[in-house]
Amino acid sequence: MTRTFCLTVLALTAASSSTGAAEVAPAASDFALPSIQGSNVRLSEYRGQVVVLAFWSSRCAVCAAQLAELAEQQRTYGSAGLVTLAVSVDDDLARARDYARQHAAGVPLLLDAQRQVSRQYQVDRLPTIVLIDRRGRVRQRFRDYRRTDNSYISQVRALLDDSGSTVGQ
């Protein structure tokens, strides 16, 4: 009976690790990018907060609406520890600046003209949102974000509710 019990426990342990139950989310790659306002922004400065990285372009038809929604979300959840960083992948910096002025987002707008950060975060289409938890780990990617996607805001709320004291340590 004891041997059977031990084998069952081993089998269950192996099964749970093969399903990803014990997996740890990958660490978010740190970066520093200039903001449209002129100062540099470094991701690691926001450790301890939930970070939304929103990748956008002036050529993206839905990005303007998304930037407005993200600014509203920032106003709603900022006091709970949310930080939203909007990363432009435009190679034409003047166009990106003009677009940003026309669509004042109320969140830091960063310039990734060389697309180094977008490559680090595997951005292959726009808009893309990457959620980073309080411990600096990538928790979710949303490609082609749509306002009606309830899983996105549910994930944001769950990350805000997670104090970070027990998960992934």
Find tokens 């697309």 and name the residue. Answer: 115
Provide block-wise average pLDDT over 10 residues at a time, the chain (169 residues): 37 36 75 91 97 93 86 94 95 86 81 94 93 96 72 91 56
| Long-range contacts from 43-49, C-beta under 8 angstroms, 24+ separation | 43/85, 43/132, 43/136, 44/136, 46/83, 46/85, 47/134, 47/135, 47/136, 48/81, 48/134, 48/164, 49/81, 49/82, 49/83, 49/134
Report residue 137 as tokens: 């780990």
Q: Whole-prediction pTM value?
A: 0.79
Q: Which pLDDT value is given to residue 152?
A: 84
- Token pair, residue 152, equals 């996105």
Structural domains of the chain, ranges and CATH numbers in brackets = 50-162 (3.40.30.10)
The pLDDT, as a whole number, for residue 164 is: 60
Q: Which residues pair with 142 in a beta bridge?
A: 129
Q: Are 100 and 109 in contact (CB under 8 A)?
A: yes
Contacts of 80 (CB under 8 A, 6+ apart): 160
**Which amino acid appears at position 112 of this protein?**
D
